[in-house]
Amino acid sequence: MEGAYGPITFETIGVFKALKFGSRYFTRGQSKSPSMAVPASINSNNIISSHLGPRLQFTQDNVVEYLKREKVDGATVYEPCKPSIFRRGQVVEAQVSFVGISMKDGRRTFVAKLNKLVWLHSGCAIDLIDADEAGVAQTPVIVEQKRFLPYGDGPAMKKLRESVEAADMHD
């Protein structure tokens, strides 16, 4: 929706300004975007929609497009898919921060910091169907791991800066 985007805000990590990116199924508080129905592909059991109300909304900003990566004739192609393709052990969310660090002689380096990986531990898609047919109640469990990368002027940070400067960036 045009005009519905909020201003870019920076967070402070250590003494550095950082941009954080993430995606959520809800928008907290009042949004400039109008509320909308949660797509059935991600809300088949009405779990997400049952949490909606004045404090939590589902808007166009919360819509997540699921893509499946495939190789076709040597080229990488991303095809739309439903979230039911996810299986136990697969990563379902990644959050990163991008930090600009001032260096000597007015130069700057750009560091990506992995904040969080979330993967499906059990339940989802076939696992839930099998459990339901067997009469076993199985609740999906999400496992979250965080990794903190320290910022500062110590030897670990110097080594990180040097490795980032020397790295080749590829798609």
Secondary structure of the chain: what % helix, strand, coil (to 5)? 20, 35, 45
Nearest to 42, CA basis, from 82, 85, 81: 82
pLDDT in tens, 46-93: 777 777 777 778 887 777 777 888 899 999 998 888 777 777 677 766
* Separation of alpha carbons 63 and 25, rounded Å: 7
Distance between CA atoms of residues 113 and 97, nearest Å: 5
Residue in the structure block whose two tokens are 């940070």: 157
pLDDT at 171 over 50: no
Q: Of 106 and 7, which is predicted with more confidence?
A: 106
Mind spelling out the 3-state secondary structure of 79-122?
EECCHHHCCCCCEEEEEEEEEEEECHHHCEEEEEEEEEEEEEEE
Cβ atoms 63, 38 nearer than 8 A: no
How many angstroms separate the CA atoms of 89 and 39, rounded? Answer: 24
Q: Where along the chain do its domains lie?
A: 11-23+86-165
Residue 8 or residue 170, greater confidence: 8
Banded model confidence at residue 9, pLDDT cuts 50, 70, 90: low
Q: Are 29 and 59 in contact (CB under 8 A)?
A: no
Q: Enumerate the H helices of the chain as residue ranges.
A: 126-134, 155-166
Quote the distance between the C-alpha of residue 169 and its chain's center.
Answer: 21
Q: What pLDDT sits at residue 73?
A: 93
CA distance 64 to 77: 18
Specify whether the CB–CB gap between 27 and 62 falls below 8 A. Answer: yes
